[in-house]
Homo-oligomer: A and B are copies of this chain.
Amino acid sequence: MPEKNRERFPLFITHREDVRPEDRQAVGQLVRATGFFSEEEANIAVELVEERLAKGDASGYFFLLAEEGNRLLGYTCFGPIPGSVHSFDLYWIAVDPGEQGRGVGRTLMAAAERIMAGCGARRLYADTSSLPQYEPTRAFYLACGYLEEAFLTDFYAPGDGKVIFVKTLPACAP
């Protein structure tokens, strides 16, 4: 961990589940800042915020936002998979690149897992690309206890497959 980040411990990060109109812009900026997502994907991230604002729980999209004061450090978006009895999809997890290495992502993931477990989730799915630049993303899922369960060749583009990770939760909420 870089020295500049280590100095900033302990963390004073709060988590928030309710989504506010101003999150549209903050989420869009954060997702674009990571450099991990295409413009199309960034637009989808913002659309999910808008769906959540418009429809609430009925949208199927649940959010957890990590903030320090009023500043968004990272967020995750997840929800039950329609047609399944106990599977959830981790649609998004992103951390401001200037805040990476502080445990924001790990803390967000753990808190989101507690929420999903409380909703009856037993299997959490997360997908990512097989391209070399997503190696940190894949390492993050593995570090969070996910396992690689399937691979879809050329899913996103020629040479760019989809890796499907899954994490099994115990029957009782942690």
CB <8 Å contact, B82 and A155:
no
Residues of B within 8 A of A125 (CB): 152, 155
Residues of A118-164 contacting chain B, CB below 8 A: 122-123, 125, 149-158, 164
CB <8 Å contact, A157 and B40:
no
Closest chain B residue, CB of each to CB of A123: B154
Count of A interface residues, CB-CB < 8 Å:
26
Residue from the set A40, A82, A122 with the largest chain B CB neighbour count within 10 Å: A82
* A141 vs chain B, min Cβ distance (A): 15
CB <8 Å contact, B44 and A157:
no
Judged by a CB distance under 8 angstroms, whether A117 is at the interface is: no
CB <8 Å contact, B38 and A155:
no
Complex CA gap A17/B122 in Å reads 39
Judged by a CB distance under 8 angstroms, whether A70 is at the interface is: no
Select the stretch in A3-11, A84-92, A93-101 that faces chain B.
A84-92
Could you tell me which A residues sit within 8 Å of B by CB distance? 38, 40-41, 44, 81-87, 122-123, 125, 149-158, 164, 166
